[in-house]
Amino acid sequence: MKHYIDFHEDVTIPELDALLDTAIDLKAKTKAGIPHPILAGKTLGMIFTKSSTRTRVSFEVGMYQLGGHALFLSSDDIQIGRGETIHDTANVLSRMVDGIMIRTFAHQDIVDLAKYGSVPVINGLSDDQHPTQVLADLLTIKEHKGTLKGLKLAYVGDGNNMANSLLHACAKAGMDISVASPKDYTCPEKYVLQAQEDAKITGSKIVMTEDPYVACKDADVIYTDTWASMGQESEKAMRAKIFKDYQVNSDLFSTADKDAIFLHCLPAYRGYEVTEDIIDGPHSVVFDEAENRLHAHKAILVHLMSNQHA
Ligand code: CP
Ligand code: NVA
């Protein structure tokens, strides 16, 4: 693994297993208070042109727990916000840090950062993909269900960055995935085709539908995300109307397997994409999922920035 930008392109099936094993090992060490300074002396630069709670805190704390250091670089403060090119930023940062994590709008900017820089690049979310989140999601599912292969995940709502990366992740992990979105808001075909490529190898089944009830039937995991992503704030009212039949509520949830778990990358908007009784109810594991960002990201950092895996 050289970069962690696109789950389909950058993570092979054996690498996915190795990342999950490392995350489980590092989580156990963290809980037991066993020091693991695998990245002592290393620095991660973290560029943010969008807001973040979980991604920022988990990467920063993760680097600290690994014995290294993280730098928070907001686009409000660094020269990228005043028009310095990605090319120059990549060159300069590569001379000083050992890895770069970036959260931004255009996916291509992340690809370019990796192209022009000489250190590993991690995609902390683009308009198109959210690959670090899905590793934490798989870890959470594995912890709660004991396995990944053969399970069914239903994603209900906007065919956005989250849905695209879940297609990639489920197909690699051998999980079935059904995505239910309104007609004009489904995932771009490119991501469905990429997932189908891996599904041929792992045996996972991919279903794209407009009907949330078809997607959720007998599902082991139900997942949703905001109807208006970062950058779409002005469309919030319009989207609330378009997506109103795509709310995860008790009626929809009752069609899933009786032991189904509920996941949401957060931040969540109760009363929109999910009702309070579901996200705050007994099937919800969203805070385990949020915690697992820390453990999953540490695994990514170790695999990219050290030769010695945990
Ligand atoms: N899920 C997620 O990426 O959260 P943040 O936007 O808070 O980082
Ligand atoms: N789809 C959401 C995910 C936030 C973590 C967004 O891009 O805003």
- Cα of 266 vs centre of ligand 1, distance in Å, is 6
Model confidence pTM above 0.95: yes
Q: DSSP letter at 304?
A: H
Q: Say how far apart CA 34 and CA 15 lie, in whole Å.
A: 25
Q: Which of 210, 216, 221, 240 is nearest to 170 (CA)?
A: 221
Determine which helix (DSSP H) or strand (DSSP E) holds 145, and give its type and residue range. Answer: helix 131-145
C-beta of 229 in contact with ligand 2 (< 6 A): yes
Q: Where are the domains of the chain?
A: 7-130+290-309, 133-287
Q: What's the CATH number for 133-287?
A: 3.40.50.1370
Asked if 82 and 27 count as a contact pair (C-beta separation under 8 A), the reply is: no
Candidate of 50, 55, 57, 126 to mutate for ligand 1, largest count of ligand atoms within 8 Å of Cβ: 55
146-202, pLDDT tens digit by residue?
A: 999 999 999 999 999 999 999 999 999 999 999 999 999 999 999 999 999 999 999
Dihedral sign for Cα atoms in the order 185, 189, 190, 194: positive
55 lines ligand 1 (CB under 6 A): yes
Options 3.20.20.450, 3.40.50.1370, 3.40.50.300, 3.30.360.10; CATH of 7-130+290-309: 3.40.50.1370
Cis peptide bond N-terminal to 37, omega within 30: no
d(Cα 49, Cα 105) in Å, to the nearest integer?
7
**Sequence-distant (≥ 6) Cβ neighbours of residue 26 within 8 angstroms:** 36, 295, 298, 299, 302, 310
Give the rounded distance of the alpha carbon of 85 from its chain centre.
Answer: 26
Taking the C-alpha atoms of residue 59 and residue 44, their distance in angstroms, rounded to an integer, is 9
Written as tens digits, the pLDDT of the chain (310 aa) is 699 999 999 999 999 999 999 999 999 999 999 999 999 999 999 999 999 999 999 999 999 999 999 999 999 999 998 999 999 999 999 999 999 999 999 999 999 999 999 999 999 999 999 999 999 999 999 999 999 999 999 999 999 999 999 999 999 999 999 999 999 999 999 999 999 999 999 999 999 999 999 999 999 999 999 999 999 999 999 999 999 999 999 999 999 999 999 999 999 999 999 999 999 999 999 999 999 999 999 999 999 999 655 4
Structure tokens of 168?
Answer: 């990639």
Q: Which residue, by CA, sits nearest to atom 8 of ligand 2?
A: 229
